[in-house]
């Protein structure tokens, strides 16, 4: 499962925003976001470029590490 660290999440709403944004990407399957660690993981139904994931997270106002 690919994983990325999302910086700037502080509440359940942030977690849900990241989850929904990642689920909207074509090729992304199940998404798990851990608010405590900032880790976001997902399954892929087709290959998804890491840069696509980064850009979507940045577009909704968070940083990636």
**Confidence at residue 31, expressed as pLDDT on a 0 to 100 scale:** 98
Q: What is the mean pLDDT of residues 31-52?
A: 97
Residue 20 to residues 25, 31, 56, 57: CA-CA distances in angstroms? 9, 9, 10, 10
Spatial separation of the C-alpha atoms in residues 7 and 27, rounded to whole Å: 23
**Confidence at residue 53, expressed as pLDDT on a 0 to 100 scale:** 98
**Confidence at residue 25, expressed as pLDDT on a 0 to 100 scale:** 98
**pLDDT by residue (tens digit) across 11-32?**
999 999 999 999 999 999 999 9
Spatial separation of the C-alpha atoms in residues 2 and 50, rounded to whole Å: 9
């Amino acid at each position: 499962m690919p994983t990325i660290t999302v910086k700037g999440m502080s509440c359940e709403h942030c977690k849900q925003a990241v989850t929904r944004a990642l689920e909207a990407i074509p090729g992304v399957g199940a998404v798990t976001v851990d608010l405590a660690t900032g880790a976001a993981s997902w399954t892929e139904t087709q290959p998804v470029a890491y840069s696509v994931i980064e850009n979507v997270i940045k577009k909704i106002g968070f940083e990636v590490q």
